[in-house]
Structure 1
Amino acid sequence: MIEINWGTPLTYVVSQDGDTKKFTTIEQARYWLRKKWPVADHHRDRAIDHVDAAMQCLAPVDAARQAFARAAQSAGFVAWHDTAAPA
């Protein structure tokens, strides 16, 4: 199976302990939405629909990313940005 790059990785703090997860492909996002997502709500369902459509080339990948980001926010995940300056 070929993994589909969906642009700049999205990284979220996914636990209260500060654990982070970097989503670099649409397949990773789909797996998490289906198997590891902490809440089942409208945002998750919508993200699954958008991700599946993008994987079948029926919708833009950017729409899937946006839906995934909304679902992550709804699930309580916090976007993580590496602010460390390069050495």
Structure 2
Amino acid sequence: MSLTKPNQDLKRDLQGIASDLKWSAVELMRIAERLSLAGNEADAQAVLRMCNVFHDGEDRLVGYADEVKTGRIVRGKVE
């Protein structure tokens, strides 16, 4: 199924934001590790919980991008 330009842009945007979330979660995991090594386990655990939220959001956005690709989600015209 060929995507319209607006739907291609939407898919690309969703994938880009998902990638940004993934990168952010990786960086936060590094910060959490440093916090833990410094003895600040409570903050390390809080940062790890943030990572889980980011990973969940990433998964949802990738799923939405897949739905755009299959035509289940379509960007309409703004009137």
Q: Whose helix fraction is larger, Structure 1's or Structure 2's?
A: 2
Q: For the pair shown, which has the larger CA radius of gyration, 1 or 2?
A: 2
Task: Report which structure shows greater RCO (CA 8 Å, sep ≥6).
Answer: 2
TM-score normalised by the chain length of structure 2: 0.36
Q: Whose strand fraction is larger, Structure 1's or Structure 2's?
A: 1
